[in-house]
Amino acid sequence: MFVTHLPKIFFYPKPKIIITSALLSKSKTTPLSHFSSVTSAANTLLQQTPDLQIKNLEIEHVQEKPHFEISVEKLFFPPDTDVSSGSRPLSSRILKGSNIVLSKYAGDAQVEQAEFVKSSVETEECPSDGLPEFALVGRSNVGKSSLLNSLVRRKKLALTSKKPGKTQCINHFRINNSWHLVDLPGYGYAAAPHEVRTDWAKFTKDYFLNRPNLVSVFLLIDASIPAKRIDLEYASWLGENKIPMTIVFTKCDKRKKKKNGGKRPEENLQDFLELIKKFFQTAPPWIMTSSVTNQGRDEILLHMSQLRNYWLKH
């Protein structure tokens, strides 16, 4: 049983998924605490695809206790996902702290080499080597530089994007000589002059719409605070324009007490997903991260690998 015909756009149109009770461990909902080791899940999947290998992935088990449950309709199935996958329950193939199901394309998730390539002020100037790329974007201060550094395990790589003159550019980093991470300008910076903000909106939208090797946008949302209008607008624009997108919830280590109306990251996350759901035909993939604890780092890389490997083969 396969999720059918999802070409380069990963969550449109709505996939036809038939889930039988045997595929789920217990009920229609999957407590996060039931998620098992990504390594074993991924390796089992990889037995079907000997050309892909996950090296030295050390990923621990998930949450200490379940914070909320995810129903099957809210899971993200990458294209060409074998939902039944032998005897393994679906719950053991979901990346921890996310709604993302692992597919047989997951592999090559290690970052062995990362280098800054160039800064571009418009889409036409971007590297023309055709390598698949993932763009990181988010509101200023969302933790984008911290996440980029954490993904490549380099303390200061993202500083390149923060140098004067480069903050409003499309900054390309080449990973393992085979794909790009792209750092886009942070949006919503109140102090930025109006012309700069308008320009930014124009050229990043142009990049999203006209970059054929853009595999997915990774939209960063701060999970330690309630949803901001500008983030909702951004997510809805991407959804309405059918730009493949993964939502990365940042700062999930910031566990505020509920006093003063402060919400926990999982609650802010659920509120955000609820507010944007009408802009998407099927649930977009999302993942919880922290650059302080490195939560979600290996999972993002594994998710990127499955999107990338599928993209390369189609």
From the list 2, 9, 1, the residue with the least C-alpha distance to 314 is 9
Residue 229 or 278 having the CB closest to ligand GDP: 229
Q: Which is nearer to ligand GDP, 4 or 141 (CB)?
A: 141
Q: Does 253 bind ligand GDP (CB under 6 A)?
A: yes
Is residue 141 close enough to count as binding ligand GDP by CB under 6 A? yes
* Minimum gap (Å) between residue 147 Cβ and ligand GDP: 7
Return the residues of window 281-300 that contact ligand GDP according to CB under 6 A: 290-292
Among 172, 180, 251, 303, binds ligand GDP (CB under 6 A): 251
- Nearest to ligand GDP of 89, 188 (CB atom): 188
Site membership for ligand GDP, residue 254 (CB under 6 A): yes
Least distance to ligand GDP from the beta carbon of 266, Å? 15
Hey, what are 248's tokens? 């990365």
Give least dist CB 131 to ligand GDP, A. Answer: 23
In this chain, which of 97, 186, 244, 285 binds ligand GDP, going by CB under 6 A? 186
Count of C-beta atoms within a 10 Å radius of residue 202: 11
CA distance 177 to 10: 25
Kindly indicate which of the ranges 82-90, 209-217, 234-242, 248-256 contains the residues binding ligand GDP, using the contact rule CB under 6 A.
248-256
**Contact between 142 and ligand GDP (CB under 6 A)?**
yes
User: Nearest-CB residue to ligand GDP?
Assistant: 143
- Give the CA distances from residue 16 to residues 13, 72, 77, 111, 178, in Å, rounded to whole numbers and listed in that order: 9, 12, 10, 34, 33
Does residue number 146 form part of the binding site for ligand GDP (CB under 6 A)? yes
Query: Where on the chain is the footprint of ligand GDP (CB under 6 A)?
Result: 138, 140-146, 186, 250-251, 253-254, 290-292
